[in-house]
Amino acid sequence: MHPIVPMAVITVGFSALLWCGMLWLYSGRTMRFVRLVWFGLPLSAIVNLLVKGPLGAGGGDLAGIEPGLGLDTPVWFLIFLFLLAPVFEELIKAMPAVLPQVRRRMGTEGDALWTGMALGMGFGLGEAIYLAWQVVAAGAYAEYPWYAFTGFFGERLLVVFMHAMMTGVLFRIAQRGRPVLGYLAAVGLHALLNSGAMLYQLELAPGWAANAALGVMLVAFALLFDRIRPKRAAAERSEDTVYYSSGS
Amino acid sequence: MSAPVLATFKPARSYGWVWLLAILLLVAASVLPVFRLGDIPPDERIAIWITIAIMVPLIAFLLATLASIPAMRYDLTNDELLLSCGPLYRYRVPYAEVSDVRRTTLTPTLWSSMRMPGLALGGVMYADIGTVKMCATRMSRDILLVTAGKRRYGLTPADEAGFMATLAPLLPPQQHATER
């Protein structure tokens, strides 16, 4: 067994518990939205195998560009590669919204946020499985012990939440009747998130800078989440049992 | 010398310790590469040592917290309410400063703190009311929230009715209410 497999199991299991638990808690202790996570699970493999892979390879073939050129790659092709993930991943994450059972859950802005977050979480979890499978299939890093993949754990744990936020933002804006704006916002956030890794791959930024960019984006997403999520209604607060009040 | 304790109440039971144990194991896994230092290129070993320098104190802290959970309790003296969970978490709440006691449900934020399902310790930021000093075996639901001055404290006594019956006569004799 490839050593990334145990870490992938831990990563997917812990991420699912943590983020689905968060979704359950914040959405009002209901499984209504958590159940939608399943819809997102296969989407990463689909978009990578059927869309991004063929488009990236096909575009390179058509333009006669060899892979692995680094900074010698034409700028237009670098931008094309850079935009593949934001453009197509955000699009496919929103696709389950065509299903009536998904659309029915998007009655309010808050519900739209939870619906989008559930689909994004599913995508993020599926992406962790897909990436681990890619490593296994390539036979890479097989000489390392399983605990050498803690970087995979940490990165994927955070990225699941980030995928959830991007799709949540898309659905929340779409619920206001502006789906194109929502999509563009999600694509923009995704591009920003990937910019650190892209610069690192082009050797324009050190590895720590790419990680720092991930950390900055995590804080930004957490702030955004606290700002846009539905707050507890005053009517709910009146259900408190008051034992003592000095009236001051 | 500390004041004599009139009554002691234990917190409600929970499985919060399982979450803490899981987190502890995950953190501990991050220091495992130290056992294979020989396989790691010399220029990358510094990263392992930095990880260990951060993680070992964190592991010690998590272990101390885990060991403290069975000691969590709420003591009522003549003058104050003492919330404690081992040596790491101890809060004194003078009765004279208490202005409100209610059972409520709080909404946690994403900001880092020692809180997880079934356990909340130390300062925890909540979306509804800001930071609450927690000494509780629940994270958000049915928290007994005590407001004293500008501070708030969260607890979860197993026998809430008994706890309130003991606490209420000790509070400043103002407006007592039990309403829903």
Say whether pLDDT at B179 is over 60.
no
* Any domain includes B53: yes
CB contact under 8 A, B30 and A150: yes
* Any domain includes B1: no
- pLDDT one-digit tens code per residue, B76-95: 999 999 999 999 999 999 99
Say whether pLDDT at A236 is over 70.
no
Contact present, A187 and A87 (Cβ < 8 Å): yes
* Any domain includes B6: no
Using CB atoms, pick whichever of B29, B99, B168 lies closest to residue A243. Answer: B168
Mean pLDDT score, A59-73: 74
Mean pLDDT score, B36-51: 72
Would you state the pLDDT for residue A232?
63
CB contact under 8 A, B100 and A222: no
- State the average pLDDT for chain A: 89
Using CB atoms, pick whichever of A21, A29, A245 lies closest to residue B100. Answer: A245
CB contact under 8 A, A247 and B109: no
- pLDDT one-digit tens code per residue, A137-195: 998 888 888 888 888 998 999 999 999 999 999 999 999 999 999 999 999 999 998 88
The domain in which residue B106 lies consists of 11-180
Would you state the pLDDT for residue A127?
97
- pLDDT one-digit tens code per residue, A122-136: 999 999 999 999 999
Structure tokens at B161: 């009715």
Look up tokens 């890093």; give the residue. A141
Q: Give me the torsion for CA of B92, B70, B123, A162, rounded to 10°.
A: -170
Please name which of A175, A44, A51 lies closest in space to residue A102, comparing C-alpha atoms.
A175
Which residue out of B102, B106, B145, B147 would a mutagenesis test of the A interface target, given it has the greatest number of A Cβ atoms within 10 Å? B102
CB < 8 Å to A10, chain B:
26
% chain A with pLDDT above 90: 54
Structure tokens at A116: 């989008």
Would you state the pLDDT for residue B60?
93
Would you state the pLDDT for residue B12?
96
- State the average pLDDT for chain B: 88
* Any domain includes B2: no
User: 3-class DSSP state for residue B122?
Assistant: strand
pLDDT bucket at A69, cuts 50 / 70 / 90: low
Name the A residues in 137-166 with CB < 8 Å from any B CB: 145, 147-148, 150, 153
Query: Which residues does B161 contact at the CB level (< 8 Å), separation at least 6?
Result: none
* Any domain includes B5: no
pTM recorded for the entire structure: 0.78
Q: Structural domain tally of chain B?
A: 1
* Any domain includes B3: no
**Sequence spans of domains, chain A:** 4-232
Say whether pLDDT at B7 is over 60.
yes
Would you state the pLDDT for residue A246?
83
- pLDDT one-digit tens code per residue, B113-131: 888 889 999 999 988 788 9
Contact present, B174 and B160 (Cβ < 8 Å): no
Calculate how close chain B gets to A149, using CA atoms only, in Å: 9
Cα A70 versus chain centre, distance: 26
Sequence-ordered alpha helix ranges (H) in B80-138? none
Mean pLDDT score, B56-79: 94
What's the CA gap between A98 and A100, in Å, rounded? Answer: 6
- pLDDT one-digit tens code per residue, B140-156: 889 999 999 999 999 99
Would you state the pLDDT for residue B54?
84
Mean pLDDT score, A3-16: 94
Calculate how close chain A gets to B16, using CA atoms only, in Å: 14
Neighbours of B39 (CB within 10 A): 11
Say whether pLDDT at B171 is over 70.
yes
What's the CA gap between A60 and A67, in Å, rounded? Answer: 7
